[in-house]
Amino acid sequence: MSEHEQYADDLALYALDALRGEDRARVDAHLATCAACRLELEELRGDTALLALAAAGPRPPQRARKRLLDAVAREGRGADALSRTTREDVRPSRGQGGGPGWWGWLGWAATAAVVVFVLSLWRENSALRQTLVSASSQAAQSRRELEQLRRIARPILDPEAQRVTLVSTKAAPQPQGKAFYLRNRSSLVFLANNMPALPPHKAYELWLIPVSGAPIPAGVFKPDAQGSASVVNPVLPEAVEAKAFAVTVENETGAAAPTMPILMVGAGE
């Protein structure tokens, strides 16, 4: 970095967002052509994050959490984000234009150029509005589908729901589990019934057995008083193909590898 000493100090200011105007434009122009300085800027930004740690303080109030999650639930995805971006892009920048006299001052050629530009913006605006309308109706459709899915999921996942396992009248209820796995979304729901209670400090652990490689931890769970349990969307590596799922007993903090014996196992239907 020694050949860029003249930029070294400026990069630190840039990382602190303290470089503005012409100074910033000068550094921007240099960064566009210099990978070494871009890397140094990234490292300096990381260093500034360390300063953030020196801020100790009270936790945010509980109401802030509710406020955020309510807003997140209201916003959903898609059209809202699109509409916000669209409106911002189309809004004319501040500080331009003046009083009624400036058309004449500009001269006819320049005025014509401005008019053409404004017309093209207007056309773009209309096209964007149409995109927005279709995106809005898609979002409404998605919301309906989501509500439908929620209705289906509720009795399955709600802890208040009554769970009944039907077995052949000749057999006693056995521990059983069902795993629902969407590989391309790394999304997993696991439901278990008739699981025996465990000694204290022990728990069941679910494992995803990949086609190749070691079993992957997929959630730790304890059964309720009725022997039911569920695991919903544990953190999983992306898009792993599952050969099978299995359950073992582990310490309640979970384990990185299964402890024998395997209690339950199942391959795809």
Partner 1 sequence: MLSPQPHGISADLALVTGLKSGDQGAMAELYDRYSSVVYAVALRVLGDTGAAEDVLQEVFLQLWRKPSAFDAARGSLGSWLAVITRNRAIDSLRKRRPETDIEDIVLSVAPDLAGEAERARAAEKVRGVLGTMAPAQRSALEMAYWEGMSHSEIADKTGEPLGTVKTRIRAGLILLRKAFQG
Choose, by CB under 8 A, the member of 253, 261, 268, 269 that binds partner 1: 253
- Strand, helix or coil for residue 247: strand
Residue 92 lies near partner 1 (rule: CB under 8 A): no
Token pair 């979002």: residue: 139
Whether the CB-CB separation of 206 and 265 falls below 8 Å is answered with no
Residue 66 lies near partner 1 (rule: CB under 8 A): no
Choose, by CB under 8 A, the member of 156, 216, 232, 263 that binds partner 1: 232
Residue 195 lies near partner 1 (rule: CB under 8 A): no
Burial group, residue 200, by CB count within 10 angstroms (0-12, 13-18, 19+): exposed
User: How far is 267 from 269, CA to CA, in rounded Å?
Assistant: 7
* DSSP string computed for 153-218: HHHHH-TTS-------TTS----EEEEEEEGGGTEEEEEEESPPP--TTEEEEEEEEESSSS-EEE
Q: How near is the Cβ of 173 to partner 1 at its closest, in Å?
A: 20
Residue 64 lies near partner 1 (rule: CB under 8 A): yes
Residue 145 lies near partner 1 (rule: CB under 8 A): no
Q: How near is the Cβ of 263 to partner 1 at its closest, in Å?
A: 17
Fill in the DSSP letter of residue 267.
Answer: E
Residue 98 lies near partner 1 (rule: CB under 8 A): no
Choose, by CB under 8 A, the member of 80, 114, 183, 263 that binds partner 1: 80
Q: What's the distance, CA 120 to chain centroid?
A: 36
Interface pattern 151-190 for partner 1 (x via CB under 8 A): ----------------------------------xxx---
Summarize as ranges the residues that interact with partner 1 (CB under 8 A).
8-13, 15-20, 24, 39, 42-61, 64-65, 67-69, 71-73, 75-77, 80-81, 84, 185-187, 217-222, 229-238, 253-254
